[in-house]
Chain A
Amino acid sequence: KAGVTQTPRYLIKTRGQQVTLSCSPISGHRSVSWYQQTPGQGLQFLFEYFSETQRNKGNFPGRFSGRQFSNSRSEMNVSTLELGDSALYLCASSSKTSEAGELFFGEGSRLTVL
Chain B
Amino acid sequence: GNSVTQMEGPVTLSEEAFLTINCTYTATGYPSLFWYVQYPGEGLQLLLKATKADDKGSNKGFEATYRKETTSFHLEKGSVQVSDSAVYFCALSLPMNYGGSQGNLIFGKGTKLSVKP
Contacts and interface: CB of A to CB of B under 8 A. Distances in A.
- Whether A and B are associated in the same complex: the answer reads yes
A79 interface: no
A33 interface: yes
30 contacts: A3-B43, A31-B102, A32-B103, A33-B105, A42-B107, A42-B108, A42-B110, A43-B110, A45-B104, A45-B105, A48-B104, A50-B102, A50-B103, A94-B102, A98-B102, A99-B51, A100-B93, A101-B32, A101-B34, A101-B49, A102-B46, A102-B49, A103-B46, A103-B105, A104-B43, A104-B46, A105-B36, A105-B45, A106-B43, A107-B43
Contacts of A45: 103-106
Given A94-B102, A101-B34, A106-B43, 4 more contacts: A42-B108, A100-B93, A101-B32, A108-B43
Interface in B1-57: 32, 34, 36, 41-46, 49, 51
Interface string A79-92: 00000000000101
Q: Name the residue in B42, B49, B105 with the highest tally of chain A Cβ atoms < 10 Å from its Cβ.
A: B105
Contacts of B92: 101
Using C-beta atoms within 8 Å of the partner chain, give the interface range for chain A: 20 to 34
A31 B103 contact: yes
Contact of A100 (B43, B44, B102): B102
Using C-beta atoms within 8 Å of the partner chain, give the interface range for chain B: 20 to 34
Query: Is chain A's interface secondary structure helix, strand, loop, or mixed overall?
Result: strand
A67 to B, nearest CB: 15
A15 interface: no
Interface of B: 32, 34, 36, 41-46, 49, 51, 89, 91-93, 96, 99-110
Q: Name the residue in B32, B92, B101, B107 with the highest tally of chain A Cβ atoms < 10 Å from its Cβ.
A: B101
A4 interface: yes
Nearest to B51: A99
Contacts of A58: 104
